[in-house]
Structures are given as structure tokens and as C-alpha cells.
């Protein structure tokens, strides 16, 4: 029969022999022992080095539409957003954020009618022309009626000199007559060594005369983002 003693398996052999039979009532050596009864020695194994996980660049966070503040903000300092992550060209929006934030600061001055502060770093370049400084009266022709201007970054292309970006943007303009317009165009933004924003040609009107809304309201509507991208080459 089979019996378990501790964890060792022992085989009892009951033979039909006399008690003095050499095989009667004898116990064989325990399984897993050496001939001298000692425990077997484990063979030393070669140490192995743990392989390090491959180093990969973290993926940028997925774009999430911002939440509109309550109550609505329609006057004062604007806020800049990107409309996708990454941008249409594949560039992470974080790479462009310093340029975008600087452009928003200048547009805040325009919305506040702080023309002389804005003109110290705001230039205008006609399509195919050369950039130059505008007179306050010229700047007011497009931006004077705004209570709040918020920039929506569609895409960005780095300048070959490595110190500037050509920003393709939309602008949510909250107007003094309690309506909202959306415009789009290009801004050339350089933040070093001479910080400046150059408006490249006139901005096109995407929509105008709408009931007041905030940039966050606009970004909560995917169809409006698609329309903006389509109308702002």
C-alpha cells in the first residue's frame, strides 16, 4: 500500500516471506535523497540580469473640449486654446504654447483698446508685401469694436530660423453690440530675440452677428471646429 509521511513518499513492501527474508518489512531509501541519506544539493544557477523595459516617448494627452465657465465671460481678457492634439501637422500643441500665449497677450491689448501698447509689438504684413507698423486708426478698423478676443490655434509651422511660428488661427470676437463673430487668418509670432506678432493679411470672417458665446462653447461643437478648419487654409 501507499502512505504519506510528512512530504516524503514511502513504499511499503509486504512480501509473503519469512520474517528473516532480506526483503521482508524493509523500507527503501526515500525518494529524493542521496545514497548516503543526505539531502541533494541544488546546483547553483547563473544569475540573470532583469531586462529593462524599452524607453518610449509618452503620448501627448488626448484633446478634450474645455468646459465653459459659469457665468459666461464675454468681456475682458481672452483665453487661447488649440483645437486638436496634436495639431493638424502632427506638432504637439505644447511646442507652440509660448508663442500662442504671447499672441493672446497682444490680442488682449487690442480688445482693451490699448492701442499704443499693442502697436509696440504688433505689425501688419500685406499678402506679398513687407511688414510695417500700423497707425492706431488703421488697427482700430478691424479690432476696435471687440470686448474680448480669444485665439483658437488650428495649426503651426515653425519658421526655418527656429525662433518663430506661423500660426493658423481662428479668433472668437465678442463684440460691443452683444454679438459674437468668428474670424480666421495667420499670425507670425516671434518671442525671441525681439518679441512681436505680425498679422499676415486681413482676417477673413467665418461668421458674424451670432448670439453671444464663449470660445469654450464653440469648441464643444465638433462641426464648428471642422467648419473653421475648412474655411481657414
Same domain for 107 and 206? yes
Contact of 81 with 68, CB cutoff 8 Å = no
Same domain for 20 and 89? no
- What sign has the CA pseudo-torsion 82, 85, 88, 91? positive
Task: Domain count for the chain, please give it.
Answer: 2
Same domain for 185 and 87? yes
Same domain for 202 and 94? yes
In angstroms, rounded to a whole number, what is the distance separating the alpha carbons of residues 121 and 199?
Answer: 11
Domain coverage including residue 206: 81-231
* CATH number, domain containing residue 204: 3.10.450.50
* pTM score of the predicted model: 0.73
Rg of the chain over Cα atoms, rounded to whole angstroms, equals 38
Q: What is the largest CA-CA distance in the chain?
A: 128
In angstroms, rounded to a whole number, what is the distance separating the alpha carbons of residues 153 and 85?
Answer: 11
In angstroms, rounded to a whole number, what is the distance separating the alpha carbons of residues 224 and 39?
Answer: 79
Same domain for 97 and 151? yes
The answer to whether residue 90 is domain-embedded is yes
Contacts of residue 138, Cβ cutoff 8 Å, sequence gap at least 6: 124
**148 three-state secondary structure:** strand
- What sign has the CA pseudo-torsion 216, 221, 225, 227? negative
Same domain for 97 and 156? yes
C-alpha cell at 9: 513518499
The answer to whether residue 16 is domain-embedded is yes
Same domain for 93 and 27? no
Q: What is the pLDDT along the chain (233 residues), one digit of tens a residue?
A: 333 334 433 333 333 344 444 444 444 444 455 555 555 555 555 555 556 566 655 665 688 889 998 899 999 999 999 999 999 999 999 999 999 999 999 999 999 999 989 999 999 999 888 888 888 888 888 788 999 999 999 999 999 888 899 999 999 999 999 999 999 999 999 998 889 999 999 999 999 999 999 999 999 999 999 999 999 99
Amino acid at each position: 500500500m501507499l502512505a504519506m509521511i510528512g512530504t516524503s513518499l514511502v513504499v511499503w513492501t509486504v512480501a509473503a516471506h519469512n520474517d528473516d527474508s532480506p526483503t521482508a518489512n524493509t523500507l527503501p531509501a526515500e525518494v529524493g535523497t542521496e545514497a548516503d541519506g543526505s539531502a541533494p544539493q541544488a546546483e547553483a544557477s547563473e544569475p540573470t540580469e532583469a531586462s529593462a523595459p524599452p524607453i518610449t516617448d509618452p503620448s501627448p494627452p488626448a484633446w478634450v473640449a474645455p468646459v465653459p465657465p459659469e457665468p459666461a465671460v464675454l468681456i475682458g481678457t481672452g483665453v487661447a486654446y488649440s483645437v486638436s492634439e496634436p495639431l493638424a501637422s502632427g506638432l504637439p500643441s505644447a511646442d507652440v504654447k509660448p508663442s500662442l500665449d504671447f499672441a493672446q497677450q497682444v490680442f488682449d491689448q487690442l480688445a482693451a483698446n490699448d492701442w499704443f501698447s499693442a502697436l509696440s509689438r504688433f505689425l501688419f504684413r500685406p499678402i506679398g508685401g513687407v511688414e510695417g507698423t500700423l497707425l492706431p486708426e488703421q488697427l482700430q478698423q478691424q479690432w476696435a469694436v471687440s470686448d474680448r478676443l480669444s485665439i483658437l490655434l488650428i495649426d503651426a509651422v515653425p519658421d526655418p530660423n527656429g525662433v518663430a511660428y506661423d500660426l493658423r488661427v481662428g479668433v472668437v470676437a465678442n463684440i460691443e453690440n452683444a454679438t459674437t463673430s468668428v474670424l480666421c487668418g495667420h499670425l507670425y509670432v516671434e518671442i525671441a530675440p525681439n518679441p512681436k506678432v505680425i498679422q499676415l493679411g486681413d482676417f477673413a470672417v467665418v461668421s458674424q452677428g451670432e448670439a453671444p458665446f464663449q470660445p469654450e462653447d464653440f469648441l464643444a461643437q465638433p462641426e464648428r471646429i471642422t467648419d473653421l478648419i475648412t474655411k481657414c487654409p
